[in-house]
Homo-oligomer: A and B are copies of this chain.
Amino acid sequence: MLKGNAIVGQSGGPTTVINASLAGVIKGAFAANEIETIYGAEHGIEGVLAENLVNLNERFADPKMLNLLIHTPAAYLGSCRYKLPKEFDEKYDKIFEVFKKHNIAYFFYIGGNDSMDTVYKLSQYAKRIDYPINIIGVPKTIDNDLAITDHTPGFGSAAKYIGTSIREITRDAQVYDSSTVTIIEIMGRNAGWLAAASALARTENEPAPHLIYLPEMVFDVDKFMADIEKASKTYRNVIAVVSEGVKTADGKYVCEGAAASVVDSFGHKQLSGTARVLADMVHAKFGWKVRSIEFSLLQRCAAHVASLTDVTEAEQIGTAGVNAAVSGQTGMMMYFKRVSDSPYKVEIDSYDISKIANVERVVPREWINEEGNDILQPALDYMLPLIQGESTAVFENGLPVYLKR
């Protein structure tokens, strides 16, 4: 049984509940006899490299602070998009020097696909140098694109925000007695889970959004224009949802050319403006009033309307990660196994990280309609349990209270 200190880090894009997982890890570490002190690495693995460590036992001695942390969006410890090199180089030596210096026996990394790559590489390197440490990945991403796990913490709250906001925008879009088209752009580079979540907004007497385009399908601009025209014959106010990541048959993003392409350190193009480009086209062709709306950062940090299910699970999976580590597991990612849809029930287990890192899980073809402009009932049945319950952020003086590092 390993005994010593622990480090926890956060990596990748922010989510509403990434700090609930952090709180879960902290609570687990506080409860574990094997862990003396738990440190937070500022800006993920970069904070380990730079030895920027925060003593979380001191910082969160007061349970009230942990409760605020649970409801604070975005990575409290700071995040990074740092990719470790393929070859084990001096960066690895440096990381393990820091581990050794601080008597680190446990390392927890809360993140998405790219972060699981870090977990995988570090656990491989530890094996190689025979350094006694248990390294566990805790999943996090609004994109819901991690393999093996039924869903990822962060997705449910983003889905709830999207469903809520689209219900509101739909009410707003219908107030005037004139034809309009509203095109809403949703995050999701390669996986359309979040765009699919827009369908949750529908009710018995409100079919909006009328069209949903996922990046899983080739995007055909002419077909899109025809879809809009057809929808406008039934609906005065057409609401269409497009994923930021939709690509035409030539493999280009719809927004490419329209805006300068910026590439981040993982080689991902930064997308923006897909809805705007399409809105301009629709307006030019049909002359209707067309509005484009980007949910932008709001969909990944709206802690004021988080899913209670998501917040609760995010915390639980963090604590479960600590329990797995102290029981001797390493090189694993924690994941959700869905036991049943109705009543909704999940179990938390761990899985070999090498099977998860760098694998992307997209919306299955059979959950998308034939035409490729909508999703089907099984997708709704899958998503609905994940947005249940309202998480009560702490409001003071009219606004939610969020912790700052």
Contact = CB atoms under 8 A, between A and B. Distances in A.
A164 B384 contact: no
A286 to B, nearest CB: 14
A296 interface: yes
A190 interface: no
Given A79-B176, A163-B398, A176-B80, A171 B14 contact: yes
Q: Sort A-B residue pairs by CB-CB distance and give the 7 closest, nearest first.
A: A387-B398, A74-B171, A79-B175, A172-B301, A168-B301, A74-B172, A75-B175
A296 B293 contact: yes
Q: Which bracket fits the contact residues of A? A: 35 or more
A398 B14 contact: no
Contacts of A384: 397-398
A168 to B, nearest CB: 4
A73 interface: yes
A15 to B, nearest CB: 10
Given A14-B172, A300-B172, A167 B387 contact: no
Interface stretch (A117-125, A303-311, A350-358): A303-311
Given A165-B298, A176-B81, A297-B291, A398 B307 contact: yes
Contacts of A395: 390
Contact of A177 (B43, B203, B303, B400): B43
Given A73-B171, A168-B402, A304-B164, A291 B296 contact: yes
Interface in A260-314: 262, 289, 291, 293-294, 296-298, 300-305, 307
Given A168-B297, A291-B297, 15 more contacts: A14-B172, A43-B177, A73-B171, A74-B168, A78-B177, A163-B398, A167-B399, A167-B402, A293-B294, A293-B296, A293-B297, A384-B398, A387-B399, A388-B397, A388-B398
A305 B307 contact: no
A397 B75 CA distance: 28
Nearest to A383: B398
Contacts of A315: none
Contacts of A81: 176
Given A74-B175, A176-B43, A291-B297, A302 B168 contact: yes
Interface string A167-209: 1110111111100000000000000000000001101011000
10 contacts: A46-B177, A74-B171, A81-B176, A163-B398, A168-B402, A171-B404, A174-B404, A293-B298, A384-B397, A387-B398
Interface in A371-405: 384, 387-390, 395, 397-400, 402, 404
A262 B290 CA distance: 11
A297 B72 CA distance: 25
B305 A305 contact: yes
Interface in A14-47: 14, 42-43, 46
A163 B397 CA distance: 11
A165 B402 CA distance: 12
A160 interface: yes
A358 to B, nearest CB: 21
A267 to B, nearest CB: 16
A273 to B, nearest CB: 9
A149 to B, nearest CB: 20
Contacts of A173: 297
Contacts of A294: 293-294, 296
Nearest to A18: B175
Nearest to A398: B387
Given A160-B398, A201-B399, A399-B160, A73 B176 contact: no
A14 to B, nearest CB: 5
Contacts of A399: 160, 163-164, 167, 200-201, 387
Nearest to A296: B293
A340 to B, nearest CB: 17
